[in-house]
Amino acid sequence: MEIKGDNDKIIIILLAVIVALLVASIVILNPFKTDSVITVTSADELNEGDELSILLTDSKSQAISNQNVQVIFRDSNGGVTQKSVTTNAEGVGVISLSDLSAGQYSVNATYEGNSSYRPSATSQNLNIREVVTQSVGSADYLP
């Protein structure tokens, strides 16, 4: 009776497929990844030309270094400026705001994760204040 032999082959093939799917899901979903936490550490009001700082840590507040974080600034008119920063040894990334004018912004920082850490994101409203410079001149002064 060949039927029993064919059933055994089918069962073995099905078991192999199930094992392959389990291995693939562990590799893709990696339940052993650690949570990451991204925080905007700068105040929500800054001046033109200031810097925005972010902090990337794991769930135990340990720094995650040398990782890329995407930061999107959306102004009140819908304009978008996208920047990228790499975290240093302390998990800190610093972004210059010198190319952003005064105004209200929505800031979205996103970390895509890697083989060890899960992705994370955060948002914050930001007001960039105009810096007014005052020139002090003495063109009319003659000694």
- The C-alpha atoms of residue 130 and residue 33 are separated, in whole angstroms, by 43
pLDDT tens-place string over residues 77-118: 999 999 999 999 999 999 999 999 999 999 999 999 999 999
Other residues' Cβ atoms within 10 Å of the Cβ of residue 83: 18
Q: Which of these, 135, 128, 134, lies nearest to 48 by C-alpha position?
A: 128
How is 70-136 classified by DSSP, letter by letter? EEEEEETTS-EEEEEEE--TTSEEEEE-TTS-SEEEEEEEEE---SSB--EEEEEEEEEEPPPP---
pLDDT tens-place string over residues 35-80: 999 999 999 999 999 999 999 999 999 999 999 999 999 999 999 9
